[in-house]
Amino acid sequence: MHDIRTVTGPLDPAAVRGPALAHEHLALDLRRDADRAAVLDGRHADAVAGELAVLREEAGLSLVIELSCRGMGRDVTALARISKDSGVPVVAATGWYYEPFHPSEVGRAGVEELTDTLVREITEGIGPEGILPGVIGEVGSHGDRPSEPEVRALKAAARAAVATGLSVVTHAQLGRGGAAQLALLTAEGLPPHRICVGHQDLLDDPAVHRELAARGAYVAFDTVGKESYQSDTARLRLLLALVAAGHADRALLSCDISRHGYLRDEGGQGYGHLFRSFLPRLRAAGVDDDLIDLMTRRNPIRFLTGAHAEEAV
């Protein structure tokens, strides 16, 4: 099993002794005309690092997969500083979000050109520090089928993943289009176990979750606590259905903190909502500690490294 690439250097998977957050944002800027609050920048870095440090002590938080990619205000220098200040390893990402947030470089660039951009960043690093991304994502689409630019970005992500050995996380807007994303990515030669289909806890369709998991992909319940999109009661029901169907080995959990108003300092649920609220409810519903360790620690490690379920982590 190869090392996990973090913003502060390679990390032995065996060193990840506690849970991971599989889909978070620690530094991003998604501000648009109608929404000026979708930002986490230097003003918030101390609060972000503080939350992670507390979770390291309280919950054993051992890894954060940070999925701000190209065009999302990604700031790997800030990620490195937050990681060092909090003592929590952080994985950085590359790729392109969904079409409304595509930077001009996507434009009409062909799949080969886009693939080359990603492979270059994966092999040479991001920015002057040359920080290496450890995952491709969150590569997005919206609707039941990706738009033409989204198809190119997804194909490039798959080809770059095959070329470099990284895994791919998708953004399925409101949970829709996951099956189309999986079909497109696997058609480019990427194995399903290197794919995590995002935001499935926003889609109230257990049959879709079962199908994605049965095909070998990871299924992300990654907006835990975002009650304005979906109640945690619904998320709990959907996750329990996936577990009951025998697919706990394909679930990834996180909170997707994506605006400063979600921080605890500002009265939000914070990065710890998964540990403080949702996992206790999962335990109360009869899910044991081994399955929780599977979903919060072993699954993220296997996803990042490409390990198979039978490999010990």
Q: What is the rounded distance in angstroms from the CA atom of residue 135 to the CA atom of residue 256? A: 16
Q: What is the separation of C-alpha 298 from the centre of its chain, rounded to a whole number of angstroms?
A: 15
Asked if residue 138 has a cis previous peptide bond (ω within 30° of 0), the answer is yes
pLDDT for 310: 62
pLDDT for 312: 65
Q: What is the rounded distance in angstroms from the CA atom of residue 311 to the CA atom of residue 20? A: 18
Q: How many CA atoms lie within 13 A of 211 on its CB side?
A: 11
Q: What is the rounded distance in angstroms from the CA atom of residue 98 to the CA atom of residue 32? A: 14
Residue with tokens 């990402």: 93
CB burial readout 247-266, b (16+ within 10 A) else e: bbbbbbbbbbbbbbebbbee
Weakly modelled stretches of the chain, pLDDT under 50: none
Q: What is the rounded distance in angstroms from the CA atom of residue 296 to the CA atom of residue 277? A: 14
pTM reported for the whole predicted model: 0.97
Give the helix/strand (H/E) hosting 81.
helix 76-86
pLDDT for 1: 76
Alpha-carbon distance values, 188 to 93, 120, 148, 233, 235 (Å): 20, 19, 16, 37, 31
pLDDT for 301: 98
pLDDT for 35: 77
pLDDT for 265: 96
pLDDT for 308: 78
Is 168 in a helix, a strand, or coil? strand
